[in-house]
Amino acid sequence: VFSVLTRIVTLEEAFRGAFDNIYRASRNVAAALAIGMRSAG
Q: What is the pLDDT of residues 1-41, one digit of tens each?
A: 888 999 999 999 999 999 999 999 999 999 999 999 999 87
Distance CA 18, CA 20 (A): 6
Instruction: Look at residue 40 in the predicted model and tell me its pLDDT.
Output: 85
Task: Give residue 1's pLDDT.
Answer: 80
Tell me the pTM.
0.74
